[in-house]
Structure formats: C-alpha cells, structure tokens
Amino acid sequence: MSLFNVCSWWTAQCGDTTGDYDVASLLCTRFGLEAQEKDYIIVGSQSGQLSIYYPHANEFDATDLLLETQLAAPILGLYAGKFSGNVRNENVNQLGVLLPNAIAIYNVQTISGLAEYGAQLKLQLQAEHKFQRVAFSMCQGHFGQVKGREFFCVVHLDGTLTFYEQDGISYECRFPGQRSLPAPVVYCERTDSFFRFSATWHLQCYSYQDLSHSLVTKSSYQPIWSQCIGEGILDMRVIQLKDTCSYIMILGERNFISLDDNGKINFILKLDYAPKCFSSFVVGYYWEPGARLITAIVSDSAKLHIYEEANIIWAAQWQQPSPVAIQRSNVQSLAGSIITLSATGQLTVGYLGAQPYQFQVQPLHQEELSFAQAHKQLQQLEDEIKESVDIRDMDALNQQAADQVRLSFSIQPEICDDLDTLLLDVPADVAVKELPSAKGFLKLKVKTELAELQLVIQTPSGVRCSQDTLSLVDVPAGTGREISLDFYMAELLHVHSTRVEVFVSFLSTRGIPRVIQQSAYLPLSMFYRSCQPQKAAGIKLTYTITSKHVPPKLNTFFGEFLEAESDTHALGLQLLCPGLEKLTEVITVVAAKNSNRLRIQSDHVETFAMILERIVETTLQLDSAAGLLKMHKKKPKRGVLNRCVERIIAAPFIPIQPILHRADVHYETQQNIRKQTEQLEVLWQQFKTLQRELQEQSESEPKETLTMQIEANYDHLILEGDKLVEIRRDEQRQRGDLNCAVALAKWIIHALNLEERVVNVVNSVLSVPVEDWTELSWEESMAPGIDMLHHFGPLMRSKSTSTHGLLDGNSTKDAFDYGRFRRHFATLFDRIVRLASSTAESEANAQQTAAMEQPTTDATQQPTQQQQQQVDEIGSMQRMLGNDKATTVGRLAKPNLSSSLEAVEDEEEYDEEDLRDTGYRKDYGPTMAGDGNEQQQQLEQQTKGKRSEWVNEDFELPTTEELFSDLGIWW
C-alpha cells in the first residue's frame, strides 16, 4: 500500500460505458473562444460518441458538459490546431476528428445559456476529407516550416501516408524498404522531419522534403538515420526541451527511451512494471535554461510514476482501476492537474497528494479470558491438524474417504450393437466396422459437504467413454449422481487391457484432499469373437492353476463365449480390432483334460494381453472370494516367494524376439518423426526467409521469381506435413502393438515362481501404457531403469560386479544408444526366464532327493515295484548328474540356492563393452582329481575374490545353437 495517492478533484462518467476507449480517446486543449479560458477536455469513444467537458468546481455539475453528440463512425483520434485558413481569428483552433474513412474538421462555436443553465458548444463542419484506405492514426504540424498554418498527415493501415494542406492539396507516399506496419508517426518541427517506427523495431527519420518529392520524382530515398529500439512501442511523443534539439520520448513494452532529433540516445530506463500510457511535458519554457523535462508513466497496477528525465521523483497510487490515457492540463481553479480516462469511460481530474488512508482502528473486545474455552478451541485445532496430516494408518484414511463419498461402478457383461455413432462422434473408419460396445453404470453419493469434487474415468488406449469427466464445486451433503456410460472403440488399435478405472478426487471444506478409486473390466466379447481353434501356433504359453477353489475349465474364464455347463477343452477367439482384411489374428486357449494346465497359443503377440489378464485376474478374484489368501500391498521381505504362484503359475517362457521386434519398429518410427520434424523446420525457415525477402523488395522490383519460390516451398511444406501426419498415425498403431507386447511380458512375470520383491521391481520398471514425449521416447525413458537392473538392481549379473564399467560407459556417451538398451532389455527377460527355470528345477531336484532318502520299509509295497522304482530313479539321477562323485556333490548343492536373482550366477554374461575389457575367460576341460568335498572347497576359496569360472564337467564343448543363443554365457 502506497502512502501517496492521486487525489480526485473532479470526476465524471462518459455516456459510453462499454469500454471502447484507448490512448487516443482523450484530448486537452483550448479553442480560443474567450479571453481567459482554460483547457477543455474532449473525449471520443470508438463507438462514435463525442463529449466536451469544461470543469468549473471540484464536483461534477450538469453545466460542465458542454457538448455530447453521436457520430456515424468510430472515433480513432482527436486533434486541435489551425487546420483551415478561412478563420478570421488567428487564435482560434479547430477540432479534428479522425474516422476510419475520413477526417472531419469542425469549428467550435459557443451558445450562451439562459438563466442558470450555462453555456453550450456547437460543432460546425468546416471540411471533410474522404480516404480510399482505412486510417490508423494522424500527426499534425507546420510541415515545411510554414508559419501560421498547420498541415496534417494520416497514417493508413497499409503504411501509406496521406498529406493534406489547407488549400486542399493532398498527395500520398510510401516509406521505402520493408513493408510498413501500422505504427505511430510523429513530426519534429525543429528539423522538419518525421519519425517512424518500422516493422524491424527500428526508429527511422525521414525529411519532409524527401517524402513530399518522392511521388513527383519517383526516386527512391533512404532514412536520414536509423536507431534500433529492440522492442515494440506503446506510444511516442516529440518534446522540444532546448533551442538546439528536440527529444523523442518512446514508451516501450519494458523500457522508457529518450533520443534527440539526431538519433543519439539520451537514456534508456528499464521499467520493472508493465506500462500502459505516458505523458511528457516541459515545466517552464524551452528557451529558458531552467526548463525541466517531466514524464508521467502509468502502470497496469494503477500506479503513477513521475520522472525527471531518467530519475524518479514521485510515485502515487490510484484508488480506481488503471487508466488508459493520461494528460496534463490547466483546468479552472486547478493548474497542473492530471487528466485520466479509464477503459470504462471514467474521466477524472486529479492532483498529487500526500495524505495517508483515513481509517479507524476497530476497538478491541476486552473479554475475560476463559481457560476452559481456550483449551477446547486448542483441542479442536489440534484435531483438525491431525486429521489433515496424519497418514500413519492409510487404511483408516481410505475407509474414511470411501465413507465420505460412496462410489459404485460396474460394467455389464453383455455387449450392445445399438451405439449411436453420430451422437458420440465416432470416426468414420471405426463406425464402418460396426464394432460392439458395452454399457456401464456409475453411482455417486456425497455424505459430507465438500468444497470441490472431480471424477475422471480412465480407459485403455483406443477405447473411449461417453462421459469421462465430471466436476462439481461447493457440493452440499446428500448430493448424488447416477450416470449411464457407453464404452466403445474410437480408434482401430490393438488394446492391451480391458481394465477401466474411475478416480474421484475431492477437497473437504477444510481443504483436506482425498482420492478414491474403483475399477471394472470390459467384456472380452467387445474385442473378440469365437472362431475355430488353431492346432499350431508360433507362440505357446502354459499356465497351471494351483488353487483348489478355481475349476480349470474354459467356462470359468470365458463365460461370454461358452455356456455354463460346457465341457469344451479348446476355444478359438478372433480379434475384432483393428480388423485387418489381409490378416486374421486368432488366439487359441486349450484346457488339459487330466491336469490343471491351460495352453494359450497364437501367432500374434497382440492377442495375448487381454486373455492373460482375464485368466490371472479371474483366478485371483475367485481365490480371494473363497478366503484362501489376501494379497497385502506391503513391502515384501527378502526371500519371500511370489504369493501369486499359490494360485496360478506360469511356465518360464517369454517371447523375447517378438517383443523386441515391436520395440524396434516403434523406435524406428520415433526416429523418422524426429527427422521429419527437422525437415519441416528447415522448410519453415526457408518459407519465412522468402517471405521476408518479398517484404523487403520495393514495388519497382520484379517479384515473380520470389512468388514462384514461395509457392513451391509452400507446396513442399504441405506435402511433408502430410507425411508427418501419416507417420504419427503409424506411431499410434505401433504404440498400441508395443503396449500389448509389454503387457504380455508383465502378465507372464506376474505369475512366475520368483521372489516377490523381484516381480514387483520388474513390473514397476516395465511401464504400460507406452508414452512418448517430444524430446524423450519410451525407449529413452525406460533405458535408465533397465540399465540399473542390469548393473545394480536385483537382476545384476553377479554380486562381485563392479560399477567401474558402467560409470565409464555412461560418462563418454551423450546420445542415446538404442543397441545397448535393446541388449539389456533382452538380457533382462533372459535372466528372468533362466532364474524361474532354475527355481523350478531346484524344487524338482529337492523333491527327488527327499524321495530317495525316505525309508523303504513300507509293507504294502511289493518288492518288484519298489526295486523297479529305485532303478528308474537311480537311472534318471545318473543321467542328470553324471557318474562322477564330485560332480554329483556339486550338482546336488544347487537346490540350496535361494530364488533371489542375486543368488543366481549368470555364468558371467557380458555385453560388448565387457568383452572388450575381459576377453576370453572360460575354460573347458576336466576337473582336478581328488575328493569331491575338498575339491569344491578349494575351488570356492580360489574363486572367492574374482568372477566365478564356468567349467564343463561333462567334457563337452557347447553346441552351435547354445553358443549363438546365449553368447554371454559360453564366451
């Protein structure tokens, strides 16, 4: 709050209150109607209303308004001067009103009033000049340094200047060089020159003689001098401060600049506020040595700053909104007043004052302090603080949020075919397919008063909801909403999930935020239709139902396609979207007759994601409903196995190559988009350069060549833009394919027999859905997480791995290495599969070892069967472990390994950078002779502080298939 204010002395509201006022709508001048007259205040609005005020006292009176009339066109500017030579009195000024297509010159006449009504003014049209172009602004002066007459110059929107003299002579001219933009043009009488602000933000000076003779001689001319301003300007004035020079005062967007009439900069004042208008004037006479240059600048925060040249001498605050025009005037009874006009037509005559705000301090309520009441209020405040910040029991907070807002969300399992594609604005290529849709129902009930509530429905990529958002403000208690929803395909993409999530975020009246979430699943019949099962496929996955509460039948998981009592063991499903004509995407689900296994097979990766989601989620839901296990979302401890395998377990197989192929195609498309964008940027720069050259050419120069170049460049630009649009469409489709591929890997890893901590870490790194940004692709955002798992995380190659190679490799690479990312991505899946396989083999070996150690004294077993079983077990063990005793001991030690990924040596798998450092590290040949236990201990001591070495105990070199499928292991 400023101590100094602009005090209001006289104020009036103009007749036009629509807000059509600007800096050219205010004029303070004298018409010479009487001997000792003061300044008149003329206001003209852009709606055409003209008003003339003459304040008499410090309060507005009806007699202060001398004239109010409505013109036929908007008023662009008001000017006063000796525009006509037919006036007898040399001291009388005429009023010039600038209209869009004409300028009207009026004589102002006085009509004496009768009784107490006062005098009035009357306008008499002296001359009117029509324009062929639309006007922008006007400047006046003694052009050619004539005496006793004033000419005026009209600036048009196309930059053309039209000069008018009193005897009716008029002519036009254009500025040379670049095409002119509408900007203020001012006249300096001392040098008989015009100052013009060009489109390149330069202030240029032209002499009146060059401008006046340019039309006659047809000769080209250049500015006398040019000075770079460097920013756009708001207004410009010429003030003569000395006999030897005049000052050009320029109000820029962020600076206040002063130059002399020779182009020399006097000062540049950087403003720390956004200016709106200004007024410069001289205190004293310019021929006197003590004349002072004063400038008043108005900011957008309604503050007035007074400067003497570049030094601030005063600052004051307005109590009204910031004005759009300001002038200094001498009204009756108040010399040196400040006249301001607001955007709404509020006309004010004020002065600078130093009186602070008059306010009265409210009396204090001296009441007796009640400690009991104060303690009660303190307890209430503490309870509010604890309620808003206490997060120790999240379950209680979530239950409290669910009680405050009751949310019910469900999706019907039946599909619909009566979707209104026109009402929902479904694209034509999707509507032609006539894809089925699903209906949902959402019910919302607010139990307590809320400040704000927002509901968002998140659907998978390619699926759209008829209403996906809902916002409410100041929600009273008891408010309810029931919304019927339609879910339909909006894009022909591969969908990776059927899960639809609803998020409700709300703020209580105390400002406490809470979020609740619910989810439901779309029916599979919306995306698949039944077809003939396939007998063979390229990708085969196997799931084993280990829960006793889930019957391993197909109708348990795919009730939309099978009847309740159906005993079908094979089901074929054809993908409906995107519905390619030349490609039929079919997936087959087979249930084993004599076991709890499910075989899912297909030739296309995109068909698996939603099927695996249905199988896993249905199994977990049915088992949880039976009350067997509860999947707590707490941080798992080290060594705890994945609790999902107690319900369903997946065979350790991940289709690595199809997933990598989708990633390769997606990354290649991202690179094409970047190259296409760079090419468009180059073409756009060429287009702008050609346009600039066309603007800089004069009218006399030929323009056909440049025009042809611009047209060719424009056609090329449009063609490349269409290519970019097509590439982005391909990117969207490939992003959907990559979503399905990554989701397939996540659902397989989710049911593998691994450590639960490892499963959670890997699933958190594999982000779905895939997101691409302008400067960062999905592969680049995934690379740090994959790289950390490769070197530091639970999937590092061994405990003894040093971080020196990683730091050296990353420190010298600035660009993204997709080859390294792809190698690490493939290695991640390979390690997961081998770890899950080793865990399964360890469990099988442990069971066989326990079976061998059991006593064989059961009398119910026949001797022949017992001997035969022992012979089979011994034979299988010998074939698996070999005949060597030391080898047997070494192999039997494997089941003691934990399922943690850190406990599994990857047989020293190295990437290309590691191979350059280490070279050949593996030896093939027999082990040393001696006792097996001592031999093993010696080997452990020798390899304790270095990388473990793999030795082929079976005297066999690796096969070609093993060598090329796992090069890092056998090297």
Q: Domain-by-domain residue ranges, the chain?
A: 138-231, 397-417+435-523, 527-629, 656-697+704-795+825-830
Least Cα distance to 549 among 647, 643, 649 occurs for 647
Which residue, chain included where needed, has tokens 């206490």? 390
Other beta carbons within 10 angstroms of residue 681's beta carbon come to 10
Contact by Cβ (8 Å): 27, 96: no
Fold of the CATH domain 527-629: TATA-Binding Protein (3.30.310)
- Pair of tokens at residue 723: 């290519």
How far apart are the C-alpha atoms of 669 and 519, rounded to whole Å? 33
- Pair of tokens at residue 449: 């008063």
Q: Are strands 951-952 and 923-924 parallel, antiparallel or unpaired?
A: parallel
* CATH 2.60.40.10 for the 397-417+435-523 domain, yes or no: yes
Which residue, chain included where needed, has tokens 């059509």? 20
Contact by Cβ (8 Å): 579, 493: no
How far apart are the C-alpha atoms of 50 and 26, rounded to whole Å? 10
Contact by Cβ (8 Å): 606, 740: yes
Buried b (16+ CB within 10 A) or exposed e, 813-822: eeeeebebbb
Which residue, chain included where needed, has tokens 């009784």? 115
- Residue spans of the chain under pLDDT 70: 1-3, 19, 85-90, 113-118, 167-169, 177-180, 214-220, 354-362, 364-366, 388-393, 579, 581, 627-639, 792-814, 840-841, 843-844, 846-971
What pLDDT was estimated at residue 924? 36
CA–CA distance from 916 to each of 455, 802, 805 (Å)?
Answer: 56, 15, 11
Alpha helices of 812-931 — where are they, by DSSP H? 818-853, 863-881, 885-892, 912-918
- Pair of tokens at residue 791: 């070197």
How far apart are the C-alpha atoms of 199 and 31, rounded to whole Å? 37
Alpha helices of 100-254 — where are they, by DSSP H? 208-217
Burial class (CB in 10 A: 0-12, 13-18, 19+), 541: buried
How far apart are the C-alpha atoms of 306 and 783, rounded to whole Å? 59
What pLDDT was estimated at residue 464? 92
Sign of CA dihedral 859, 860, 863, 865: negative
- Give the H or E element holding residue 678: helix 656-696
> Would you put residue 865 in left (φ > 0), alpha (ψ -120 to 50) or beta?
alpha
Contact by Cβ (8 Å): 717, 725: no
What pLDDT was estimated at residue 746? 92
Least Cα distance to 760 among 725, 789, 727 occurs for 789
What pLDDT was estimated at residue 846? 67
